[in-house]
Amino acid sequence: MPSNNLESLTEIELEQLLNRQKLPRHIAIVMDGNGRWAEKRDLPRIEGHKAAIEAIRDVVESCGKLEIEALTLYAFSTENWKRPIREVNALMLLLRQQLKEQTEELNENNVRLRAIGQLNRIPKRVRQELERSINITQNNTGLILNLALNYGSRQEIVQATQRIAQAVKEGELKINDINENLFANYLYTADLPELDLLIRPSGEMRVSNFLLWQLAYAELYVTPTFWPDFRKKDLLLALIAYQQRKRRFGGLNDQFQ
């Protein structure tokens, strides 16, 4: 069914089109468009970030109910420190507040929180709240909510390379031990399922230094919807588009029927 026809359907109708046996195991989302959402409404940029909270809650809840295994959200990149200090401080305060307010709900919904990135640069109070939330939810068995904080994929790859080089230097590894599987085990996402689907709201056609290694065979889905307006229906449209793709992994169609 053409995508423009799908958009006219209700959430219930879209759910009926889903094949529950072919859902992605791991979804990643670049939470983009908050600032532009606010600017279109003549509001301060931080209001766009505040409005995005409802999108996060809706998507986390939806992924949990669909039994998606992992959801990685690009929350703050290594490049985001270049933004005005007032915006950065407001973002960190908002993150701390939401961790305080939402952890109980995450726990009740069997969501396990975790985080990737250079977390040592995150302000101490935010980091402490993050660690508290991770500890509270660590035994949950449902959706893994993976926050990418102070994250940059090039930095992640360089760091993995350094750790492998150190292991070779110390005699723990041999050069011939290094392959794709071993390298992947040195990444932040080593214990997560392979990434299947990347969703990019706001219409931007770039991956923004996000999960570059992990994206090798992931499907990309771009929507013009700004992240604060992204809801369950938008997620369902992305999932249906994903299920309509032919994932060949470099092979031929008939090999993956």
Q: Nearest CA to 161 among 213, 125, 236?
A: 213
CA distance 194 to 208: 19
> What is the per-residue pLDDT for 172?
97
- For residue 83 the two structure tokens come to 């933004």
Q: What is the CATH number of the domain that holds 95?
A: 3.40.1180.10
Decide if 217 is inside a domain. Answer: yes
CA distance 59 to 52: 11
Domain total for the chain?
1
Decide if 255 is inside a domain. Answer: no
- For residue 154 the two structure tokens come to 């090039």
CB atoms inside a 10 Å sphere around CB 176:
6
Decide if 86 is inside a domain. Answer: yes
The distance of Cα 107 from the centroid of its chain, to the nearest Å, equals 19
218 class by beta-carbon count within 10 Å (0-12 exposed, 13-18 middle, 19+ buried): buried
> What is the per-residue pLDDT for 247?
79
Given the residues 58, 80, 107, 209, select the one marked as catalytic: 80
**pLDDT tens for each residue of the chain, 257 residues long:** 555 689 999 999 999 999 999 999 999 999 999 999 999 999 999 999 999 999 999 999 999 999 999 999 999 999 999 999 999 999 999 999 999 999 999 999 999 999 999 999 999 999 999 999 999 999 999 999 999 999 999 999 999 999 999 999 999 999 999 999 999 999 999 999 999 999 999 999 999 999 999 999 999 999 999 999 999 999 999 999 999 998 766 665 555 44
Name the helix (H) or strand (E) containing 40: helix 34-40
Question: 116 - beta bridge partners?
Answer: 148
CA distance 35 to 125: 25
Given the residues 4, 5, 19, 32, select the one marked as catalytic: 32
The reply to whether 80 belongs to the active site is: yes
Decide if 129 is inside a domain. Answer: yes
Q: Contacts for 45-49 with beta carbons within 8 Å, 24 or more apart?
A: 45/87, 46/87, 46/90, 46/91, 46/94, 48/226, 48/228, 49/90, 49/91, 49/94
State the DSSP code for 201: G
Decide if 30 is inside a domain. Answer: yes
Decide if 64 is inside a domain. Answer: yes
Dihedral sign for Cα 118, 203, 12, 6, please.
Answer: negative
The distance of Cα 64 from the centroid of its chain, to the nearest Å, equals 14
The reply to whether 32 belongs to the active site is: yes
Domain extent, residue 234, equals 3-15+24-151+194-246
Q: Where are the beta strands (DSSP E) in the chain?
A: 26-30, 70-77, 112-116, 144-151, 197-200, 219-222
